[in-house]
Amino acid sequence: MSSSFVYASVRTPFGRFNGALADTRADDLAATALKGLLDHSPGLDPGLVDDVFWGNANGAGEDNRNVGRMAVLLAGMPVSVTATTVNRLCGSSLDAAMMAARMIEAGDAEIAIAGGVESMTRAPWVLPKPSRRFPAGDVTAVSTTLGWRLVNERMPAEWTASLGECNEQLREKFSISRERQDEFGARSHRLAAEAWAKGFYDDLVVPVPGADLAQDESIRPGTSLEALAKLKPAFRPDGTITAGNCSPLNDGASAVLLGSASAAATIGRDPVARIAGRGWAALEPQQFGYAPVEAAGDALERAGITWDDIGAVELNEAFAVQSIACVDAWLKLGLRDAEVVNAKGGAIAIGHPLGASGGRILGTLAARLVESGKRWGVAAICIGVGQGLAVVLENVA
């Protein structure tokens, strides 16, 4: 089998819930990222893209009807370009990139695009259909923004606990203090603000038409431990998880251009990273925050390297507690330095629009490898209902 490579990546700035991107539809966000990616590779004829894989976690509103295909059409690509939409919740766009890479490696494609989108602001309320035509009682509208909804009664209660409660359980299991979580959250904001100030994200982020947003909206440069310590627990009265040490609700999109080695001439640029290994794992649903440990281990094994070789890690920060648990485990497995994890900030500051985050961390990882000259990196993400994904990149720039 041949190898697959990352050639380019972009994303929109990530907006806050009810923030600067609230008036932008999910399919328009997707089209913005897709068009921005193509604009970054002007030598590529869009009609030569063999397939588009697009991640999306909800799909219950304006992102319905195969939002990947909607993005292709709205971005002005030829109608002959095919697209599919992938749903692995928070891992959707990383899963999309893995699928695109497999297609290239199998020889079924030379060039593919992967990406993802989520508008958590515009996710609709849904009503279950009644069992009778005219029910006498009230019907409750359920929000599709985040988490379980319309739960199957046969599911064990411990599996369908809230995301926050699941991570409080993880905190108890690994004895991770509130102070460590707040320190991790403050670090995320500080490093993200520094990365923006130094221009790291300038070439990775494209503006959204009609929106007044130049940078990620959730970043708070002056976040201090003192301020975070004053926040009340969000999920348990005596808990440790707050709005300051977990990712917010966000809107945004990301896109990644992948191709074979021989696609460089068609794309008009050289690749920056090789997809060297992929991993996927599943645990009990309530332990989803720890699943990246298993997934990353499998990805490293498939790449033929160990944690000792890794020079950069992008781990999606759904919660500080699960991020700390993963990093602690990786340090025990041979990762040399915790500071290589999310050195440009993470989702606690940047944001976590569910379907877009996998593409963001993959693109950021490739850019970090190019900037640092390090050879190997890992992108990993936890996924609700007990799953995790990871990709190993090799710097070829």
Helix, strand or coil for residue 113? strand
Q: What pLDDT is attached to residue 346?
A: 98
**Candidates 40, 90, 166, 246; catalytic one:** 90
Among the listed residues 101, 108, 65, the one whose alpha carbon sits nearest the alpha carbon of residue 83: 65
Among the listed residues 310, 231, 255, 262, the one whose alpha carbon sits nearest the alpha carbon of residue 109: 262
Continuous segment of H or E residues that includes residue 267: helix 264-267
Among the listed residues 121, 99, 89, the one whose alpha carbon sits nearest the alpha carbon of residue 355: 89
| 347: Cα separation from own chain's centroid | 8
Tally of CB atoms within 10 A around 54: 33
**Catalytic residue at 166?**
no
Tally of CB atoms within 10 A around 39: 12
pLDDT of 241-274, one tens digit each?
Answer: 999 999 999 999 999 999 999 999 999 999 999 9
pLDDT at 133 over 90: no
Report how far residue 185's alpha carbon sits from residue 319's, in angstroms, rounded to the nearest whole number.
9
- Which percentage of the chain shows pLDDT scores above 90? 96
Tally of CB atoms within 10 A around 8: 26
pLDDT of 2-57, one tens digit each?
Answer: 999 999 999 999 999 999 999 999 999 999 999 999 999 999 999 999 999 999 99
**Candidates 166, 246, 326, 382; catalytic one:** 382
- Placement of tokens 């130049």 in the chain: 214
First to last CA, the chain: 22
pLDDT at 130 over 90: no
pLDDT of 190-202, one tens digit each?
Answer: 999 999 999 999 9
* Spatial CB neighbours of 308, under 8 Å, sequence gap ≥ 6: 334, 335, 336
**Catalytic residue at 382?**
yes
The DSSP call for residue 20 is T
Q: Are residues 318 and 387 in contact, defined by beta-carbon separation less than 8 angstroms?
A: no
Q: What mean pLDDT is reported for the chain?
A: 97
Report how far residue 256's alpha carbon sits from residue 94's, in angstroms, rounded to the nearest whole number.
10
Name the band, by pLDDT with cuts 50, 70 and 90, for residue 110: very high
Q: What pLDDT is attached to residue 132?
A: 85
Helix spans in 79-151 (H): 92-105
Among the listed residues 108, 33, 110, 120, the one whose alpha carbon sits nearest the alpha carbon of residue 77: 33
Among the listed residues 358, 297, 363, the one whose alpha carbon sits nearest the alpha carbon of residue 86: 358
Q: Are residues 212 and 239 in contact, defined by beta-carbon separation less than 8 angstroms?
A: no
pLDDT of 360-372, one tens digit each?
Answer: 999 999 999 999 9
This prediction's pTM: 0.97
Pairing between β-strand 376-383 and β-strand 387-395 as defined by DSSP bridges: antiparallel
pLDDT at 393 over 90: yes
**Catalytic residue at 90?**
yes
Report how far residue 281's alpha carbon sits from residue 260's, in angstroms, rounded to the nearest whole number.
27
**Candidates 166, 189, 326, 352; catalytic one:** 352
Q: At what angle do helices 92-105 and 357-372 cross, to 10 degrees?
A: 70
pLDDT of 298-310, one tens digit each?
Answer: 999 999 999 999 9
